[in-house]
Structure 1
């Protein structure tokens, strides 16, 4: 496998100057969209691991590219689709929920599948007639067994036989703390 292919594809899409001739031939709406995508790409940094050593190591690889401010972490092996009634993207929903503390996206998953994901439970806060509000996480376990989940990870108002699992989308509000914890975990594995 060509490990440089993702970098070349990213650079080709986002880092190359826009082709003025091609932009001028596009309908105005399409041209504006292409410019917007290019501007977003200029603010995105693609960071890859030299070898696969887990999510924590991947986040540590990006440390030098992040300032001491909150950041959005999106896992590259996920496809983010939304069924939100207003058409809001998954990222927009997460940004709306962000209020200065770390936030992660969760989804409802059948119990037969939970051994493949991080699984969380907690208590609902800010419930309204329009929805359950936010979940204040009280327990999160990586790839639990069904029996463990049934005993420890049931979330009120989630259908029986389903659990909330991590969706690969995070806003991390305290980078220094996160990096310190990840570095400590890395040292423990050595």
Structure 2
């Protein structure tokens, strides 16, 4: 199967769109607590080479803690926009790569599995946009056709809804329920799929 035929796969296109939503939304969710100047975790500081001590040192830095939050917020937002998702993936790769190494360096339990999967997902997104990213190696970009569904402005609207929901929930509710937030995001995603399915049916009927 050629790269062009892969880019034409509707399932693969939807996988790319929703992978951007998934990791972008996760970064937005994690960033806002740092921007608010609050602790990300309540793990006790045992001193020395411990996870709690590491997080407490970053939190106590103040400016660096908030800088991390803003970097995560921008990367996540760019991914959610879909339109600027390639730039978001490039930015996300540097941040999640750093986080992955940190989770390997300390006793984070099974967290490296999660961060490793997020890193692999980011690499997959970069490969999806490789024909545009190749200019970084002084190679000419190549145009690739996808589909009208993939290019639909619907996905940017959905990304804006997900960002507004996540930002509002994280900024104004301190005692948050993770499952409630995740359920709301899943609901928005399912509704978007239904709208996209209806749009595709209308387009086929018009033809």
> TM-score, normalised to structure 1's length?
0.29
Whose Rg is larger? 1
TM-score by length of 2: 0.28
More helix by share: 2
